[in-house]
């Protein structure tokens, strides 16, 4: 399952981030990394996902969200 498959309000634990190294490091700085809990706050037109982590909030494109494997809580 990826972030793209979560619905608004759902929480999940990040299992793997399969994205280019620079993007992976940027997400890690925002608190979106393996083992972190994320929550989908809002979905805009099924293309942009507003997510929160314990450290921040971030808007993710569908392509980036598809590279983040999660396990729903």
| CATH classification at residue 58 | 2.30.30.90
Residue range of the domain that includes 16: 3-72
Q: In the chain, how many domains are there? A: 1
Residue 16 gets which letter from DSSP? E
* Per-residue model confidence (pLDDT) at position 33: 95
Give CA–CA dist 73/63, Å, rounded: 22
For 59-70, the DSSP string reads: EEEHHHHHTEEE
pLDDT digits (tens, 9 = 90+) for 34-73: 999 999 999 999 899 999 999 999 999 999 999 999 999 9
Prediction pTM value:
0.92
Give CA–CA dist 41/53, Å, rounded: 10
Residue 20 gets which letter from DSSP? -
């Amino acid at each position: 399952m990826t972030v793209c498959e979560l619905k608004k309000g759902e929480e999940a634990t990040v299992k793997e981030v399969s994205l280019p190294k620079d993007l992976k490091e940027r997400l890690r700085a925002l608190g979106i990394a393996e083992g972190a809990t994320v929550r989908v706050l809002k979905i805009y037109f099924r293309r942009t996902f507003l997510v929160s982590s314990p450290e921040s909030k971030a808007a993710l494109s569908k392509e980036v969200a598809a590279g983040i494997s999660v396990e729903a809580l």
